[in-house]
């Protein structure tokens, strides 16, 4: 088994920003501004004391956006996290911080990671090392060590990209995966038949994780992992970007510039209420929407760039 980045001795904390369900993405963005790119959104349905109108559900959706960190790291970034949350959420944000019980964190993730199966034209199976799984002939298996970076297949936004990728890749494409995290989408693209895959991330830990995932899947030579955002002056047949609604809007012009004539763009990482604004930004830079893919409240979109 590959060494974990979290040692047995470090104390871990769960630091969470409590928000309204609709503000979860802003809290994710606050964590990112503080340098944490793998926060997790944990939704809670709250009962109210009022009786609902017959046939209606008046529970409210709350969310906690949690980061699981070594205590020392939390102390270092707490001021930045609180400032970013106050800026983005517009009020005094509520943080809850608790120490996680001591245990062997090197294997704690085993509790949470089972095999993930993503149906599509090709069924994609994500297999963590502690779960033996003999693949069927029609399955595409990705071997992945969870916990190194975002992108384990547990999150809807990743699964939406995997589904769209399995529909879009015919073989031979040049693919760019922006914000590769664990490298899961880059590996899927290569295994589905892409000719060349470039995977970028601005987080050096994600870059290491993606290289490790590529190696683990025997694809080190076919996936070019770079610590970068969107490479200048390069053109791809297919670009995938599982980021956030804010980042997608910010990067819209660069994403379209990375597409060759007739190229396709898959975006994900947004919830339904943010769909319209992201769609408008991408249509505003000349892309045409081809499909919206839903899973729970999350949405993925497929766009194309017109042929010149
Ligand atoms: C939601 S994760 C997606 C991981 C993986 N691609 C997946 O689909 O599961 C977003 C990743 O984008 C990276 N990121 C954030 N801003 C970025 C930027 N401007 N350019 C490249 N990567 C970025 C983060 O470090 C993080 O690893």
Quote the ligand 1 centre to 247 CA distance (angstroms). 10
Orientation angle between helical segments 184-192 and 204-216, nearest 10 degrees: 30
Q: What is the pLDDT of residue 298?
A: 92
Cβ neighbour number for residue 191 with a 10 Å cutoff: 21
- State the architecture of 12-99 in CATH terms: 2-Layer Sandwich (3.30)
Question: Ligand 1, from 33, 179, 204: best to mutate by most atoms within 8 Å of Cβ?
Answer: 179
148 has pLDDT over 90: no
8 has pLDDT over 90: no
Question: Looking at ligand 1, which residue's alpha carbon is closest to its atom 25?
Answer: 203
Mean pLDDT of 74-81: 95
Mean pLDDT of 100-127: 79
CATH code, residues 151-305: 3.40.50.150
Quote the ligand 1 centre to 279 CA distance (angstroms). 19
Mean pLDDT of 193-203: 97
Mean pLDDT of 271-284: 96
Mean pLDDT estimate for the chain: 88
Mean pLDDT of 86-111: 77
Could you give the CA distance from residue 123 to residue 113 in angstroms, rounded to a whole number?
18
Q: Write down the number of H helices and E strands in the chain.
A: 9, 14
Among 35, 18, 109, 105, CA closest to 70: 105
Residue ranges matching CATH 3.30.70.120 in the chain: 12-99
Q: What is the pLDDT of residue 265?
A: 98
pLDDT in tens, 15-65: 999 998 788 889 999 998 998 887 887 777 555 555 555 555 455 567 889
The reply to whether ligand 1 has any atom less than 6 angstroms from the CB of 184 is yes
Residue ranges matching CATH 3.40.50.150 in the chain: 151-305
Q: Of all atoms in ligand 1, which is nearest to the CA of residue 181?
A: 27
Q: Rounded to the nearest 10 degrees, how much is the dihedral formed by the CA atoms of 21, 26, 28, 31?
A: -130
pLDDT in tens, 279-292: 999 999 999 999 99
Could you give the CA distance from residue 73 to residue 12 in angstroms, rounded to a whole number?
9
Of 33-42, 44-53, 91-100, 262-271, the one with minimum mean pLDDT is 44-53
The reply to whether ligand 1 has any atom less than 6 angstroms from the CB of 37 is yes
CB 303 within 8 A of CB 289: yes
Could you give the CA distance from residue 181 to residue 3 in angstroms, rounded to a whole number?
18
Could you give the CA distance from residue 201 to residue 203 in angstroms, rounded to a whole number?
5
Q: What is the pLDDT of residue 286?
A: 97
Mean pLDDT of 256-264: 98
Q: What is the pLDDT of residue 91?
A: 76
């Amino acid at each position: 088994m590959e060494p974990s980045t979290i040692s047995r001795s470090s104390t871990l904390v769960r630091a969470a920003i409590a928000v309204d369900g609709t503000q979860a993405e802003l809290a994710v963005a606050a964590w990112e501004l503080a340098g944490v790119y793998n926060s997790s959104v944990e939704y809670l349905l709250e009962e109210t004391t009022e009786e609902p109108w017959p046939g209606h559900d008046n529970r409210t959706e709350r969310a906690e956006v949690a980061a699981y960190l070594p205590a020392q790291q939390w102390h270092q970034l707490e001021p930045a996290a609180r400032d970013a949350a106050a800026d983005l959420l517009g009020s005094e944000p509520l943080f809850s911080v608790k120490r996680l019980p001591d245990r062997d964190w090197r294997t704690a993730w085993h509790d949470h990671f089972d095999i993930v199966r993503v149906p599509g034209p090709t069924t994609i199976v994500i297999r963590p090392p502690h779960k033996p799984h003999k693949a069927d002939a029609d399955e595409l298996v990705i071997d992945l060590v969870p916990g190194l970076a975002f992108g384990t297949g547990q999150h809807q936004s990743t699964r939406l990209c995997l589904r769209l990728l399995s529909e879009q890749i015919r073989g031979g494409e040049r693919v760019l995966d922006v914000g590769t995290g664990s490298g899961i989408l880059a590996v899927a693209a290569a295994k589905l038949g892409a000719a060349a895959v470039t995977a970028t991330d601005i987080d050096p830990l994600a870059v290491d994780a993606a290289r490790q995932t590529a190696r683990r899947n025997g694809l080190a030579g076919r996936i070019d992992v770079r610590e970068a955002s969107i490479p200048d002056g390069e053109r791809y047949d297919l670009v995938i970007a599982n980021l956030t609604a804010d980042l997608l809007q910010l990067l819209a012009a660069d994403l379209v510039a990375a597409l060759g004539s007739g190229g396709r763009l898959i975006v994900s990482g947004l919830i339904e209420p943010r769909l319209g604004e992201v769609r408008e930004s991408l249509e505003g830079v000349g892309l045409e929407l081809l499909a919206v893919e839903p899973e729970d409240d999350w949405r993925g979109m497929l766009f194309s760039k017109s042929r010149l």
